[in-house]
A and B are shown apart, each in its own frame.
Chain A
Amino acid sequence: MAQESGQQHPLSIYFWIWGLLFVLSFFSYMVDYMNFQGGVRWALILLFMFLKAGLIVSIFMHLAWERKALKVAILLPPLALLVLVLLMTYEADYTFATRIDFFGEGAPATPVHHP
């Protein structure tokens, strides 16, 4: 069985991915530094996040070279979290609306004082 001998790949692929992760992290930092707001900000954050996560899992953790049975067993179950996220979105909206109803509008953010 090929897998029994372990994951052996040329070193160059690791250096490539390493470099890519640096570049993508720099881009995600730039999203904040350039002060993008609203939908563009969220889209860029998610894009760079998923690209980085994908590279780490597929190349560094070698999942790309595993058999499909293992890929399916690892990647499918976390999708259940999306259901939780959806449910909690409704819950949070409801809590927020109730709080506004009872307590009125909240205070705006206070600027941070840097000593």
Chain B
Amino acid sequence: MSEAVLTDSGDVLPGGGDGVVADFSADKQTFQVPWGKAMMWFFLLSDTFIFGCFLTSYMTVRMSARDAWPVPSEVFALSFGGDPIPLILIAIMTFILISSSGTMALAVNMGYRGERKKAFWLMMATAAFGVMFVSMQAFEWTKLIVDEGVRLWSNPMGAAQFGATFFMITGFHGLHVSVGVIYLIVTGLRVRSGYYDRTRGNYEMVEITGLYWHFVDLVWVFIFAFFYLW
């Protein structure tokens, strides 16, 4: 985006690369976005640090573990009658979350076009994908706890720290998905009822909800890479 910034006093400040200086020094609001969107970005930034610290702790714990780390490819394999297929459930969960990100992006677009019905149904589809994701996670946890005896403090496969980091990281992510589903349903119902036409006259709330949802998908990209694949 490179258009110029018009200050209250009528000065025109440069856009583009130099726009950073202009935006931060323009004696007016710095970020040229609705405040709700700026605040969601800052919340997500703080959440980035939370997940960043979790993943860094996981790295530290895994590097310093004396016993060999359980092989995720084997631990999360699933057998449908035949030989176990490595990581198959996690792969399906990844595809589900990406699908949900796609429907969310379309919902944001439909919201701005004023197509309330389509935006509502796309958001419900996103929430449904979210519920599927959390359900599969519940299945995964049950399998690990009941069938394979993984605990926070020990597991039969190797380094004892595996359970603590796994349940902490995926649990916190699953909590985010669950909260996101509630958030989507609340915003979705308001979209359907025309609430945003009456209160704001625009559908930036759908985009803000979308930011949160895409972030949840983003975090999964990192968890998938570092916890399941590494």
Contacts and interface: CB of A to CB of B under 8 A. Distances in A.
A11 B106 contact: yes
B41 interface: yes
A70 B41 contact: yes
A6 B112 contact: yes
A108 interface: yes
A1 B147 CA distance: 58
Given A66-B1, A67-B1, A109-B69, A8 B56 contact: no
Contacts of A78: 45, 48-49, 52
Contacts of B157: 109-110, 112
Interface stretch (B131-139, B163-171, B176-184, B203-211): B203-211
Nearest to A94: B64
Interface in A46-101: 46, 48-49, 52-53, 56-57, 59-62, 65-70, 72-74, 77-78, 81, 84-85, 88-89, 91-93, 95-96, 99-100
B64 to A, nearest CB: 4
A69 B20 contact: yes
Contact of A112 (B34, B75, B159): B75
Nearest to A44: B229
Interface of B: 1, 3, 15-17, 19-20, 23-24, 30-34, 38, 41, 44-45, 48-49, 52-53, 56-57, 59-61, 63-71, 73-75, 77, 79, 84, 86-87, 91, 94-95, 98, 101-102, 104-106, 108-109, 112-113, 147-148, 156-159, 202-204, 207, 210-211, 214-215, 217-218, 221-222, 224-225, 228-230
Given A49-B221, A61-B210, A107-B67, 13 more contacts: A32-B229, A45-B225, A60-B105, A60-B214, A68-B1, A89-B60, A93-B63, A105-B66, A106-B67, A106-B159, A108-B68, A109-B67, A109-B158
